[in-house]
A = this chain, B = another copy of it.
Amino acid sequence: MDIEIGMGKQARRAYGFDEVSIVPSRRTRDPDDVDISWTLDAWTFNLPLMASAMDAVVSPKNAVEIGRLGGLAVLNLEGLWSRYEDPEPVYERIAEASPAEATKVIQDVYTEPMKAELVRERIREIKEGGVVAAASLTPQRVQDFAKDVLAAELDILVIQGTVVSAEHVSKTREPLNLKEFIKTFDIPVIVGGCAAYETAYHLMKTGAIGVLVGIGPGAACTSRQVLGIGVPQATAIADAAAARVRHLEETGRYCHVIADGGMRTGGDISKAIACGADAVMIASPIAGAFEAPGRGYHWGMATFHPELPRGVRVHAAQNATLKEILIGPADVNDGTLNLFGALQFSMATAGYGTVKEFQKSELVVAPAVKSEGKLLQQSQGVGSV
């Protein structure tokens, strides 16, 4: 809190991924020796990856494929799959809407009510694929569908909203008491989003096995513009990692920090881990897979808010397989393919053997600079210009 915005108003400087860079240690390693696997509760995943609970990113079908590739997909239980028996024509309608009418169309299709039967059905579809099944609800809807989620034998419940706090205040209705809910709920819960030390710490104290860190997302969300709220991700993650330490010391329980949003490349994912994340939750890169349900488009779950839509339907050109995107091989060089091969290579190059070690990686602050039409950081080196 060392910056004075004006007399009597202090603030802290916060940093985004574009402002930081990883510094190699004095060691290097073979990529093959680097372990990027992620153990969450009873499960071990090959990749420290969650796929975002967004309709253009995760369907019951590609959730299974993501699971087989080593990640954990989260189906949004308040999305199209719980509202429509057959959502394919709805996806079609969204994809065919003109840019001018896209938001209105999205607002419209999400007025269709959720159906408990479909909630159960979708979870079962994932389970049948033989992978860990995760799905999300907002705090407002958790109590309405909790029994369906249990009945369908979901593995991990994600309770997610733009901002989720451990202490929601309402004058008109009894809000979800996260702590009590999680304590008595039969399956592990991940909650979020949050973006600062105190908030993350209090969410951890609810008993969640993980917290999602990130407010004011990237490509498909305009919360920052609409609400003025947000914390750059490098700072938000480092804060949450510090809260994890305190929570661990006080309770003996390790609560996972999952960086949610703002990552497009292997470099971004590497930085998220280097800032302290245990895993990352990504959307846009997966929306760009042939297997993604969005038909080349991508939108957020606040895009259809009836009075204050936040988010925009964005293009997500589908030009690679899920496998190429997640574990390669890549035949382009902009960092958008082989995301986790890149993480592995980054850790090897920087000299770290495990995610826990890489979380302690040295960083420099190196602000991004626009140069000849491309956003580049001011670091130039190996390989020469």
Q: With A and B bound together, what is the CA distance between A220 and B374 in angstroms?
A: 13
- Note all chain B residues with C-beta closer than 8 A to A346: 226-229
Segment touching B, from A63-71, A120-128, A145-153, A159-167? A159-167
- Proximity bits, A218-243, B CB within 8 Å = 1, else 0: 11111111111111111111111111
- Note all chain B residues with C-beta closer than 8 A to A253: none
- Note all chain B residues with C-beta closer than 8 A to A341: 307-308
Copy number in this complex?
4
A163-B28 contact, Cβ under 8 Å, with A261-B381, A368-B369: yes
Q: Is the CB of A230 within 8 A of B261?
A: no
The smallest C-beta distance from A354 to any residue of chain B, in angstroms, reads: 13
- Note all chain B residues with C-beta closer than 8 A to A328: 307-308
Scoring A18, A23, A382 by chain B CB atoms within 10 A of each residue's CB, the highest score goes to A382
A228-B11 contact, Cβ under 8 Å, with A307-B329, A385-B218: no
- Note all chain B residues with C-beta closer than 8 A to A130: none
Number of A interface residues in the complex (CB < 8 A): 161
- Note all chain B residues with C-beta closer than 8 A to A261: 380-385
- A264 interfacial by beta-carbon distance below 8 Å: yes
- Say which residue of B11, B194, B381 sits within 8 Å of A231 (CB atoms): B381
Q: Is the CB of A168 within 8 A of B27?
A: yes
The smallest C-beta distance from A349 to any residue of chain B, in angstroms, reads: 5
Q: With A and B bound together, what is the CA distance between A153 and B84 in angstroms?
A: 60
- Note all chain B residues with C-beta closer than 8 A to A307: 328-330, 338, 341
Q: With A and B bound together, what is the CA distance between A281 and B384 in angstroms?
A: 7
A30-B172 contact, Cβ under 8 Å, with A226-B265, A267-B224, A380-B214: yes
Instruction: Give the 6 A-B residue pairs with the shortest CB-CB distance, closest first.
Output: A262-B380, A6-B238, A214-B381, A16-B378, A218-B385, A228-B267
